[in-house]
Chain A
Amino acid sequence: MRCMDVVAVTHRGRERGHNEDTVSVAGFQSGVVEGQPVRFTVDSVRPVTCLVADGLGGHAEGGRASRVAAATIGDAAPLFHDSAAVVKAVRAANDAVYEEMAHHRAWTGMGSAIVVLVVAGDRMICVNVGDSRCFLLRDGHLVQLSTDDSPAPEAGQATIATVVTQTLGGRSDRGEVEPHVHESEVRPGDRFLLCSDGLTDELAPEHIEELAREADPVAAVEGLLRATLDAGAHDNVSIVLATVGVEDR
């Protein structure tokens, strides 16, 4: 039977006072202030769901939005056999964030970016809204599977990293989201990296690729987190590293 080896961590970084990110692995959810990497070995007889939700910074209740979104998706996770089910859950999470917003006026406008990875048998589904990313490390190449919701720059211009075109919640009036979906085959040894923009804004892709290649997944996550903190960690940073087991047990 195949297993997934998942290491997850979330950290508030060096500048933020609190952590608005939420990571969730197979239903276990965490949004602690300064976490240590936690390792899970998940039996993949049923679909395995990992996600990173990045609450919108600058809004007081970003953390609340990310936790609501993560919980909504986590509740629907046992049914994630195809991408339609995952997209439906992400839309439900969007609705849940708006419903939560209605409870308190101060919570208006809270929102979260999200990236969800589901490994079901030998297929993977990646769904994302916003600028949290999912990468696949295969044959030593780190390939981005998620699609950033960034405004298209003009020719010769750089993208503006701080602006996203859609998030779960994030507005005062209820709106719909169009999640990006990517599906492909999974091979033993594939390693997925889910992260908030706290990681990708601090480290160059080359550097992330190099650190993620580290054979021991805990060491890899620790390396990524340390490098981010060393680089300044201006935002909350969350990392989920999911490795598809090689040998059958």
Chain B
Amino acid sequence: MSDNRPPAPGTRRDPVPEIPRGVASVPGTVRDGAPGTTRDGAPGTTRDAVVPAPRTDGDRFVRVNLPPALAQRFVVDRELGAGGEADLVLVNDRDSGQQCVVRLYRRQDLPLDEDKLRRLRAADRRHLIGLLEYGRGDGYVWEILEYARDGSLEDMIRRYPAPWPSAQVMDIFDQLAAAVTYANSMGMVHRDIKPGNVLVRSMQPLDLVLADFGLTKFILATHQMGTTSRTSAYAPPEAISGQASRSVDWWSLGIILLELLTGLNPFQRPDGTWQDDRMITAFLISRDIDVSEVADEHWRLLLRGLLTRAPEKRWGPEQIKLWRDGGKPPVAEPEPARTGAAPASTAIFVFGGVGYNDPVRLAAALRQNWGEGRRLLAGRQLKAPQYLALKDWMTKHHRTAAVQALDNGVDERPERGLMQVIMALDPDAPPEFNGHRLDDEHLRELIRQATANDAGARQLIDQLYADGILTICDDAPGCAGYAMFDDRWHRCVETATLKLRQVNVQANPNDLQSLRLQLLVAAYEGQQAAFAEPAWRATQNVQARRQPWFLALTGEQVDPQYEAAQHAVLMVAAPIAAQQTNDQIAQAERARIAAEAAEQARRRASMDSLSVPVGVLCGVVALCVPFAGFVVGPAAIYFGVRARRTQHTGASTWAIALGALGFLFAFLQVIMSVAGALNGTPGTVQ
């Protein structure tokens, strides 16, 4: 729509003749750009201040090749997406290791709006994603952009389905309103603001930036990047006729806020599917966006101001500032009279053998009879009659949020669904999960029990983690800020388990349970460093430090928000590394003993084989040399016996026999000489 326009004045569709194919001479591509646009950026504005750990999976298949000019400088990490005209590739700088994103257009006849690109490069990074460089060559045009690791607002919504609490939406409003105001003050209109184009630079504190300015504005098809982009659902009515004005972006912001506050884009059906572009166009031409679902009057005023159909009457920066300060700027179109609350339905739902027609009472019954509720929600997958009856009943009672909870449920997680339904039926009740209260005080008590090794409490915490229960409780009485808290917890656990996998540590389920518990504690505001001390002690484990991988782990620098995860990883890994060292020592000791034994056996075997000739020789000597048999005979027997251990048993037998005979012979010789001597003496006497 708005992108389908002739190129901006001053740009040409033909290749610019004086621009050579090389990179360096194209204006604006010099690496040392104007101050503030260099790759290092202002402190705190890029997420990649820390050099990421070297990646081990270097052989991943990548479809996109970088043009030589870029390939010299960057290594492709992975593809982030592809559209009709361009590919998005995540790359690592060969020198600095910094990660950034290359948007590679597959044609080089694109006109570049040099002026705008220059302005973007110099733009304030607090509001807009950093455009690091741009250039052309080798048949491509490219932009090099800052990489926002936490993805987009769209990803965040997918992870934590709206409606979000008012305070959080206000945070997002503040950031986006500032960004739009800033961009407009620079003379730039984005024209395609949608959750997918709002990138999350960091979660804690929340830092949002607008992305996808720049080159894309000249290309029709690039906004169809990926499959979930929705442009028309966020575009104002005047965009249909191709008009463009500054107030385009304010409309888009209004739609995003409405989506966050109600949980649904106005062009999204309750089951999450989207209306097609023609229906959206038809709607925008004739009708106003209905904001009556938003309960808060002040929010409703803002939305009506932003979603004013006439662009010249739509709110801009002045009204928004006034509104933010608590004022009530006028809105062009009057608010339609709110229809009175729908009459209460008389429909009855039978649960646990009792009829209910009051959502709050049913919520209480579901809390009380948790098992029956779980079975009821387990029927989601099967479309069981009782489940369908519940859905029908909630529809009749106009419990849209509860019906939505059913629609967004997960088949495999009935208890998550049950929790969502209970919260939607009775949002004012303190949240309770399977009989356990989850408000701040009780949660802390639960953590204390789990820390004291209470098996039930530990299991419950596992379940809270797996089912994402704390996010569901967000903003309920006593549960302020639970969504962010839960998010920190999940991210840290995911980071930690990923790290453990990377270093190939097989933690047992008990360790993982402790890790989750520990990270839950560390997820509390200001507790990131709660386990710094034990983690430090873990790194000092002498045995563990003998493992190179553990040593590398201790030296790793991590993003402050994942500090707790790193602590947990160290604490889990240290005993395992120490065990590995002990195993290695034991292994080495066993090998040494075995080697000694083998050496001894070898020596004996060589003695044995030497015994064969020596034994036979001794036997012969014992037999042949008179009187030698006394000494040499037993020696021959000794060597003969040793020689029996070899395969020369014949020789051994000879040696033994000759030795024995030699000894006997010598003995006989002695007897005879003694006898001869005795006989001779009396003779001489006679």
Contacts and interface: CB of A to CB of B under 8 A. Distances in A.
Contacts, number: 70
B287 to A, nearest CB: 38
B363 to A, nearest CB: 14
Contacts of B378: 138-139, 141, 143
Nearest to A180: B385
Interface in B347-390: 348, 350, 353-358, 361, 371-372, 374-375, 378-379, 381-386
Contacts of A146: 385
Contacts of A155: 348, 355-358
B375 A153 contact: no
24 contacts: A136-B382, A138-B378, A139-B412, A141-B414, A143-B378, A144-B384, A144-B386, A147-B386, A150-B350, A153-B354, A153-B355, A154-B348, A155-B358, A156-B354, A156-B355, A156-B361, A158-B354, A159-B350, A159-B354, A161-B353, A180-B385, A182-B382, A205-B372, A206-B371
B353 A158 contact: yes
Main secondary structure of the interface of B (DSSP, over half): mixed
Given A144-B384, A209-B371, 11 more contacts: A138-B381, A143-B379, A152-B348, A152-B355, A154-B348, A157-B354, A158-B353, A182-B382, A182-B384, A205-B375, A206-B371
A240 interface: no
A143 B382 CA distance: 9
B411 to A, nearest CB: 9
A178 to B, nearest CB: 13
Nearest to A206: B371
A190 to B, nearest CB: 10
Q: Which 10 A/B pairs are nearest by Cβ-Cβ distance?
A: A141-B378, A153-B355, A155-B357, A147-B385, A143-B379, A206-B371, A184-B382, A159-B353, A143-B384, A143-B378
Interface string B561-595: 00000000000000000000000000000000000
Interface of A: 136, 138-139, 141-147, 150, 152-159, 161, 180, 182, 184, 205-206, 209
Contacts of A156: 354-356, 361
Given A153-B355, A155-B358, A144 B350 contact: no
B380 to A, nearest CB: 9
A182 B354 contact: no
A205 B378 CA distance: 14
A124 B357 CA distance: 32
Interface of B: 348, 350, 353-358, 361, 371-372, 374-375, 378-379, 381-386, 412, 414
A142 B382 CA distance: 11
Contacts of A209: 371, 375
Nearest to A157: B355
Nearest to A140: B378
Nearest to A135: B375
B374 A141 contact: yes
Given A139-B412, A159-B355, A145 B385 contact: yes
Contact of B348 (A153, A161, A180, A205): A153
Contacts of A136: 382
A150 B374 CA distance: 22
A243 B10 CA distance: 74
B374 A153 contact: no
Nearest to A154: B355
A130 B378 CA distance: 23
Contacts of A153: 348, 350, 354-355
A150 to B, nearest CB: 8
Contacts of A143: 375, 378-379, 382, 384
A141 B375 contact: yes
Contacts of B386: 144, 147
A156 B386 CA distance: 18
Nearest to B379: A143
Instruction: From A139, A153, A155, name the one whose CB has the most chain B CB atoms within 10 angstroms.
Output: A155
B605 to A, nearest CB: 55
A223 to B, nearest CB: 18
Contacts of B350: 150, 152-153, 159
Contacts of A139: 378, 412
A139 B354 CA distance: 27
A206 B353 CA distance: 14
Nearest to B378: A141
A234 B383 CA distance: 33
Contact of A145 (B355, B361, B371, B384): B384
Nearest to A150: B350
B379 A144 contact: yes
A184 B383 contact: yes
Contacts of B354: 153, 156-159
B452 to A, nearest CB: 28
Contacts of B361: 156
A157 B349 CA distance: 11
Given A153-B350, A154-B348, A144 B355 contact: no
A145 B350 CA distance: 15
A157 B354 CA distance: 6
Nearest to A124: B382
Contacts of A147: 385-386
Nearest to B380: A143
Nearest to A142: B375
Nearest to A147: B385
B360 to A, nearest CB: 12
Contacts of A206: 371-372
